[in-house]
Structure 1
Amino acid sequence: MSFKNYLCLEASAGSGKTFALSVRYIALLLKGNYPNKILALTFTNKAANEMLHRITTTFCNLHKDDQKGELEALCELLDMDSKQVLSLRDNMMDIFLSNELNISTFDSFFATILRQFSLNLGLMPDFNSVSNNTDLIKKEFERLLEINSMVGDIAQYLNDSDNNENNLFDKLKLLSQCKFEPFEAPCPMIDDVMQKYNELCDVALRLHNVASYNNNFDKNLKLSQIIKKPVVINYTSRNFNKVRDNVEFVSARDGFMQALKEYYLALEKYEISQISKFAKLYKKAISNVNRRENSLSFDDITNWVNELLTSDNKQDIDMLYFRLDAKIRHILIDEFQDTSIKQYEILEPLIAESVSGVGQNGLGSFFYVGDTKQSIYRFRGGQKELFDKLKADFIQIKSQSLDKNYRSDKLVVEYVNRVFKDKYLNYIDQIPNSKNDGYVKVAKFDTGKHQDKIYENIVHLYDLGVAYEDIAILCWNNKDIDEIKYFLEFKGLKISTQTTNNLIKSANVAAVVEFVKYCIFGDEIHSWAVYEILNIKKDKLELKKESSVAQTLKFIAKYLGIEPGDIDMLKLYEISSSYSDIYDFAFNISNDQTLSAKSSQNGITIMTVHKSKGLQFNYVIVVDYIGKLNNNTDKFLMEYNLDTNSWDVRLHNKIFEYLGDENYINLKNKQKSLDKDETINKIYVALTRAKHGLIILANKTPKGQHSSYFTSYYTSSNDLIEYVNLDECEIGSIQASNKKEPKEPSQVVNLEPFMKVAPQDIVANNETNSELNLASVYFGKALHYYLESIDFNDPNSKEIAQNCLYNKFGNLLEMSSLEDIKLRVDKLLACSEFLEIIKNKELYKEQDIGFNGELKRIDLLCMNEKEIHIIDYKSSTNQGDEHKIQVAHYAKILSQIYPQKTINASIIYIMSREIQILNL
């Protein structure tokens, strides 16, 4: 493959996209280009860091055997032998090491542009980039609604459209990012269309008299009822055989249908004018928040840069692109199929300059890579059509495809080829690079039995030697994750989800956070937690409130002997800027949801297909769609039109189909087709994550409320639903992955280890463990959650806690179970013995205690200067001996940590009829 200055690389899943990008980048360096002249763009920090690491490792180690493939590719690309390539590398080494590589996310690159011209837009150059400011914008939007007396309008819109607030804000966010100008339109009057209908009734009833026919012509009907009648929606039915050729009837119906069309077109214009006003106000809310808070989300940055470059200030625009072109000669873009319209509009002039030949900075090059089969971000503005549009707009750009798969074993690759060959136009079969056969299985489950099927296949993999850490379960939404996680945890399996991989769960970060709390609160529990992680005991420090949070954290990390370059610590310093001081950090860091940079794996992974994009796993279990597919109940149909560079927006009303509105019909069919395409793309992404084994669990008999991505079926209206239709099969074999035995935990001096007692969920209705079902597990977790949410010293906290309970568990438990939880807790809060225990004590709910390499959790820890009282909640007296042993060990360990305090412990049985307290 010779070096082409302008190249589009189509790279299917696992085909070596990162390899191709890094080799291209290094080839540009070896052709004599300085690193600051090369711009590489990708979508995520993770991808940018991976690219940086890959390029650095390859460049510096090009002479080593493990970079043989990269060296051969460079020889072919540059038409040189290996000695020549290595000689060029050696000559460029000093330059490479002394210059920073220009590898960036879109967001960072656009932020750099914006800072140069921010004052032109009323923004300060030192603005903060934040991942999300949606809540602030919502509050500001609500404030503007009140100021502009539009609260009633928005309420009416939500009522009419059968939408919730989240759907509305998603729509406004999308519209605020696009050219969608507000306009005025009057609300149409219904009088004319009803007059035409009455005239039609008079003619129709005079000509014919049959009940099924007469039902169409009732002057007491409302318009919403009339448009559902056969005279509108099914004029070809035999009810109208007698009048269909009658000139007077046809004329009267044509007049009514024309009036009906004019009314609904006017209504549509009015409705769109309303949403345009909301979008304008929402955009104003974004602007206000950005300027007031001096913080911009990544979407905000893109919007501001786009506004800057599409404004009337031509001189500034030319100056900006002149500056950028002076710095950038070569552009490489990753995952181009996910590019949005606004991102494309910003980059297009730079791309045009690069592919035009010799610019102000010499001969440039342009390279982009992607795969439209993996385009799954349409919901946030991604336009896969831009991938091919770019090639069409610039004929200088040549295309190449990567057809070899370096990720998956042979049978997995061949199976994916068979499934998708007929789903994509001009699909290119991938050629497996692996010499291993691999394993593929499609198994079907009865509706509602997916959990048992998942567990059965996990056990099968484990019995054949596959470690839990090598298994990933992919599903379609977060609700599915929670449901599957609870079920598998109840079965005794260790699960890793996004939450368990949070940054604050990372060892070094957890140690620093615990030490901060030790310094501020002075409690020995935090000191022992640090000891469990780092095996050191340090005296607490006096932390200065006036110092920056990042500065304080860096000092603590150094004090604790943590490696300066730990990537999770670097990430902690980065997010610490959102806290006002170290006290704010100590009180609120526990709520942070930032993911660990290391993404450490501990147990079976469960994640959504969207989150899995760009990842790979040894064995993947893909679960069918669980539940009912979302029907589009949005008030508007909206799709971006690349031909007109504008949004096509129509009122979502089936009446336009009955009126023969071709534009509406085409737009609806386009949206339906794009929705189906994206679903197939999601399935493609899911099935291509597997390296050695792919297991697909499909619903055997989808119908009604139970849909399927893997089994075709007919709806109640006899419409065929089919994405991919898979037959049961099992081919290949499972390779053992050398399961690792758990490491022996290091023993803490003078402290006895906890007895290994399995975690006990609170159980409903006095069931034994053998009789537990998933509802019981949910009940226990909900009761714990409700108790954790209530402030025992604040009666007003109950209402907030109840709302939290309903929001989190309302879709998992029956209302009767939620009411039962409330009644049980009310009894607890009225129990004088319980109130006496917690009186005049500091209360620590769900308190973690680091010990013996693990964190143990106590339901409620009550402390004062003299006493510690341990409380463990249960809802059944079954397994009482195990409960006593577990709580007694908690008491024993705390007595060794706090020898100066009196240690008491109680098990509180929170039952429907009574509260029992067992003091140990």
Structure 2
Amino acid sequence: MKKPNFKRLLALQASAGSGKTFALSVRFVALILQKQNGQFSQNISNILAITFTNKAANEMKSNIIETFLNMDANEPGISAKESKKRRDRVNAIADLLGVDYDDVLALSQERRSDFLNSELKIYTFDAFFSQILRRFSLNVGLMPDFKIQNNIDEIINIKFINALSPDELKELSLYLSTSDFSAYSFLENLASNPGLCLPYPPSPKANNSDVLAHFDELKKQAIVKGLIPKRSLNKFEISSVKEIATLMASKTKYIEKIQSELNAIYDDLYQALKKYYKAYEAYKISHFLRLVNKYSHVRAQTISELGELDFKDVSANVYKLLKMGEQKFDVNELYFRLDARISDILIDEFQDTNIEQYEILLPLIEEIISGLGQNEHIGSFFYVGDIKQSIYRFRGGDKKIFDFLIEKFTKNGIRQIQKDSLDINYRSTKKIVEFVNQTFKDKISNYQAQKPNSQDDGLVDVSSFDSNDLDSFLTLLASKVNFILNNKIPPNQITILCWQNKDINIIKEYLQSQNIKVASRAKYLINDISVSLVLEYLKFCIFGRSYHGRYLYEYLGQNFAPIKINFDDNASILKLLASRLGLNIYSKNLLKLYEISQNYPNIIDFIYEMQNCNELSLDYEEDGINITTVHKSKGLGFACCIVCDNLSGLNRNNSAFLSDFDLYKNRWEIKLNDKILEFLGDDDFIKLKQNDEILEKQERINALYVALTRAKSNLFILCANNASANKPSYFKAYGKDGENEILNLSDLTQGSLHNLLTNQAQNTLEECQIPPFAKIKSQDIKSEPKANNIDPKTAYFGMALHYLLEMSADFSYECLERAMQALINAYGYNLTKHDLANIKQRAKHFIDAFNENFKHYKICLKEQTLSFEGEILRLDLLLLDEQSAVVIDYKSSLANLEKNKEQVNKYMRAIKHIYAKQSTKGLIAVLGEQKCELINV
């Protein structure tokens, strides 16, 4: 018997591309297969896995199902690649359990029935917290049938403003005028930080009389002694404390001379300033926290009245629930109301956890670590993440929690939570991994170098442009794109990463002007970003609703005031709005918008009718280069990645207050964000400010690490030379003697261009085996384009039928049974038992037909996407061998047969274009309840 390698309490540091998802899925399955005293040690539904997004939760569930149901590496018909993948997974499970490969297969068969009949508890943070809140809703003044909405902020904000006194409104206006917050971003920030609802003693306004008296005395004596140059006398004609403090903090020679020769008087003024600012800060923080508490009260009252809340409120109310009263939260009460005990917890992307999420989960974590309240099975706790990829501090993510949790549960120098790391990179080619290691080894504390799994070199290309010349950047970018395209790599394998949303439009318009295809997700005109921005601004001007202004702020990063408009000159007002937003007023889609607007008698009729506009975007292109921001790229990988330098200024923390949660003291630290406090020797401010600047720089380096680790095969970096404080570079040192540096890269070329797509295609043809089913979301059953008239139940039925056939790995009855469980997990909540039985019966008919007619085909590709004649085509099933290709399209009835035949003919032409040597045949598989009918096209 081998020794199990299962660590009950484990923090796993997983660098980019190192197999984080693999490790989490394998551990989840190992937990299911664990035995204790000859019995499986826990209920599958007592295992909880949490992540951040629905997409991640669905992928996690899919990986776990696939890992559990597809273990046999020797299954007939699977490819060598699939066989290796299965063997690696099973060996990893065997290592955790301390058993052999065959033992894992036997355990999975023994546990199979339990697995197929159990609910997998894989949730987002929001979904899990929603479950808790529904069980305890009455405790926080909500009814259990509350609804989760995304549009309640407007109502709450209006009620909050109306609830403020004139003095409070003045205080709020003053606060906003001295910070970078807009009114709506400030209120959104209040809603996102329930932990700031702190008691704070009321403080009186600071008295400035002492400061003014001491300053007058200092000025008088300095003039008498001739210590102030005549040209600077006007600088002493000031009467506000802020101006006095700023003057004293300046490093001018005459101020230093005054301090030296009038030391006692200067010191009296300095002490008066310290006393004043201490009182002033207490007053400002007191009033700020009063606003926070008042907002929290208004928000709680409003959502209780409406019976509606958003996900921010879900977390805030669960947080409030756990913090109620003096008594510690009773975890057993939680388990009782959830109808299940949580024995094992797995958390993904832990570096992005915020304080609120951490404190909500802490009671559950503490109980698992202590082992209390658990009978036969002692639970486990596992979290995985990478603090090098912590880039969501602006959303409250706190990377310190990752290591703090280990420290918190350390007794007598012995860690209860063990820490491990993954050091092999499975995503990127060798040259990229080596370059990333070299770039960040001295930039990230305790950086652990990764080892490349790939044997291919790939390419790293670092080039420079003039930061003061946008054309220089665009020309360089286009040259790199053309270099890749000229080497037979298709545009959909290229991704350009930039830093701000507004950069996307600049790059997109330039590449399109060079006849380079750029992917656009906006199929319809009203979804084009330029068009949607103009329409939102128009609504803001007409209706004055702040959420229209918030849309502009969130996308463009600045506030726009509504303007008075001419209601009769439609095209002119749209051009004016586009110009004020800084958009290209002559872009194709905006020109189309102006043209459409001329069909309406006034702008009001136009804005209402545009909501139903089905005009297509003029630059809709799915098969083109992808352009996105670094933050949106996190978690993804791209064959060819071009990372652009910063094209704008840096975003800095200009908030009126600095705040940070001290994990060791378990409390928020809040200070006035005023550099005068540094001059006055406020140690708490200096420490908090330095910490804020360190975290800001670390996060910027983390974002660069994320950017440079997205590339699979080829990495291009475009660096800005001649950068300045107004337009800094992320990749080049700038300033006097290069004093400002985030990274400092030299132009270089390492390795050679690697075409990942060509290699994969070649490997597929050489194997001539049936590959595993494609991980592509199933398409809808095709029908006449009358989407608004489709019965939702019919749509779900069609999607489920496609999904079942996609998940049936080799079209056998055994695989069908496994696929049914995946179907139930994905679509079961929308289908009846009769529907499920009906779908399964139709799939059986197709499996019979497939095995009778097509089993001899060596390559079987499901749900394949390809571009042909400017259109994106999705093939349900493509069968290939050396002589022929067969395209099969699934239908649930004979309706619209002629139109469906036209579509299949198009598929056949596309396949004939790709596989010119093979004969091509097309079939429609009508999946009926009684039989599967194959119709030749």
TM-score range, shorter-chain basis?
Answer: 0.5 to 0.7
1:83 aligns with 2:106: no
Give the partner amino acid of 1:370: G
Partner of 2:135: 116
Q: 1:601 to 1:44 in 2, by over 3 A?
A: farther
Aligned to 1:263: 276
Say whether 1:234 aligns with 2:251. yes
Instruction: Give the aligned partner of residue 692 of structure 2.
Output: 671
Structure 2 partner of 1:425: 445
Q: Distance in 1 between matches of 2:27 and 2:757?
A: 37
Distance 1:37-1:683 versus aligned 2 partners, 3 A rule: same
Separation in 2, partners of 1:407, 1:77: 24
Q: Deviations 1:260-289 (Å, cap 9, x if unpaired)?
A: 111122122222122212212322343234
Which digits, 9 at most, give the CA deviation of each residue in 1:42-90, with x for residues without a partner? 1111111111000101110111324111011112111111111110010
Aligned to 1:25: 28
Q: TM-score normalized by structure 2? A: 0.65
TM-score by length of 1: 0.67
Contact residue 639 and residue 649 of structure 1 kept, 8 A = yes
1:99-126: CA deviation from partner (whole Å, max 9, x where unpaired)? 1111111111111011001012121212
**Percent identity, aligned pairs only?**
40
Q: Which residue of 1 aligns with 2:53?
A: 44
Residue 648 of structure 1: CA displacement? 1.8
Alignment of 1:800-879 (within 5 A): none
* Cα gap change, 1:428 to 1:256, in 2 (>3 Å): same
Distance 1:44 1:618 in 2: 24
SS at match of 2:383: strand
Return closer, same or farther for 1:277/1:109 CA change in 2, 3 Å cut-off. same
Q: Distance in 2 between matches of 1:69 and 1:733?
A: 30
Residues 3, 77 of structure 1: 8 Å contact kept: yes
Is the Cα–Cα contact under 8 Å of residues 51 and 347 in structure 2 kept in the other structure?
A: yes
Are 1:493 and 2:541 counterparts?
no
Structure-1 separation of matches of 2:503 and 2:246? 37
C-alpha distance after superposition, 1:8-29 (max 9, x if no partner)? 1110000000000000001001
Deviation at 1:416, TM superposition (A): 0.4
Deviation at 1:234, TM superposition (A): 2.9
Residue aligning to 1:59: 68
| Contact 1:710/1:725 (8 A) holds in 2 | yes
Q: Is 1:377 the equivalent of 2:395?
A: no
Distance 1:455 1:656, change over 3 A: same
Secondary structure at the counterpart of residue 345 of structure 2:
strand
After TM superposition, give the deviation of residue 167 of structure 1 in Å: 4.3
Distance 2:71 2:264 in 1: 82
Is the counterpart of residue 603 in structure 1 residue 624 in structure 2?
yes
Structure 2 counterpart of 1:310? 323
Q: Which deviates more from structure 2 when the two are superposed, residues 64-73 or residues 314-323?
A: 314-323
1:366 is aligned to 2:381: yes
Asked if the contact 2:520/2:621 (under 8 Å) is kept, the reply is: no
Aligned to 2:300: 287
Answer whether contact 1:13 1:405 (CA < 8 A) is retained: yes
**Structure 2 partner of 1:165:** 183
Question: Which residue in the other structure is 1:199 paired with?
Answer: 217
Letter in 1 for 2:53: T
3-state SS of the aligned residue for 1:69? Answer: helix
Structure 1 range deviating more: 636-645 or 58-67? 636-645
Post-superposition Cα deviations, 1:175-215, rounded to whole Å, max 9, x if no partner, equal: 43434335422222322110011122233333344517974
After superposition, the Cα gap between the structure-2 partners of 1:425 and 1:502, relative to the gap in structure 1 and judged at 3 Å, is farther
1:863 match = none
What corresponds to 2:125 in structure 1? 106
1:253 aligns with 2:274: no
Match among 624, 639, 644 for residue 660 of structure 2: 639
- Residue 406 of structure 1: CA displacement? 0.5
* Matched-pair contact (CA < 8 Å) for 2:429–2:455: yes
Aligned to 1:341: 355
Supply the distance in 2 between the matched residues of 1:603 and 1:468 (Cα, whole angstroms): 5
Q: Which residue of 2 aligns with 1:788?
A: none
| Aligned residue number for residue 869 of structure 1 | none
The answer to whether structure 1 residue 299 and structure 2 residue 312 are counterparts is yes
Which amino acid in 1 is paired with 2:345? I
Given residue 234 of structure 1, which amino acid in structure 2 is its aligned partner? K
* CA deviation after TM superposition for structure 1 residue 609, in Å: 0.9
Match of 1:185 among 180, 184, 203: 203
Distance in 1 (alpha carbons) for counterparts of 2:624 and 2:264: 72
Q: Give the Cα separation in 2 of the matches to 1:178 and 1:159.
A: 21
Give 1:2's aligned residue: 5
Task: Give structure 1 stretches of 5+ with no counterpart.
Answer: 506-584, 592-598, 741-850, 856-920
With 375-384 and 156-165 compared, the bigger mean Cα shift is at 156-165
How far apart in 2 are the matches of 1:852 and 1:684? 38
Whether the 8 Å CA contact 2:355–2:398 is kept in 1: the answer is yes
Alignment of structure 1 residues 728-807 onto 2, 5 Å: 728-736=747-755
Alignment partner, residue 801 of structure 1: none
Q: CA deviation at 1:216?
A: 8.8
Relative distance call for 1:383 and 1:267 in structure 2 (3 A) is same
Q: Which amino acid aligns with 1:105?
A: T
Match of 1:772 in 2: none
1:662 to 683, 687, 698: 683
Contact kept, 8 Å, 2:713 with 2:755, in 1: the verdict is no
Cα distance in structure 2, aligned partners of 1:374 and 1:161: 28
Q: Deviations over 1:371-409 (max 9, x none)?
A: 000111111111100000111111311111100000101
What amino acid is the match of 1:9? L
How has the CA–CA distance of structure 1 residues 193 and 396 changed in structure 2, closer, same or farther, with 3 Å as cutoff? same
1:328-376 deviation digits (Å, cap 9, x = unpaired): 1111111111111111111111111111125334311111111000111
- SS of the equivalent of 2:482 reads helix
What is the deviation of 1:493? 2.9
Q: Tell me how far apart the structure 2 counterparts of residues 162 and 465 of structure 1 sit (CA, whole Å).
A: 47
1:726 shift after superposition: 0.6
Whether the aligned pair in 2 keeps the contact of 1:178 and 1:342 (CA below 8 Å) is no
Output the aligned Cα RMSD: 3.0
For 1:266 and 1:464, the matched residues in 2 are separated by 67
CA distance in 1, matches of 2:695, 2:113: 50
Work out whether residues 637 and 652 of structure 1, in 8 Å CA contact, stay in contact via their aligned partners in 2: yes
Q: Partners in 1 of 2:621 and 2:102 — Cα distance? A: 40
* Preserved CA contact (<8 Å) 1:268 1:650: yes
User: Equivalent residue for 2:644?
Assistant: 623
In structure 2, the CA distance between the partners of 1:117 and 1:321, relative to structure 1 (3 Å rule), is closer
Contact 1:114–1:301 (Cα < 8 Å) also in 2:
yes
| Alignment check: 8 A CA contact 1:212 1:239 kept | no
Contact between 2:519 and 2:621, CA under 8 Å: does it hold in 1?
no
Matching of residues 120-159 of structure 1 within 5 Å: 120-131=139-150, 133-145=152-164, 150-159=168-177
Query: Matched residue of 2:236: which SS?
Result: coil
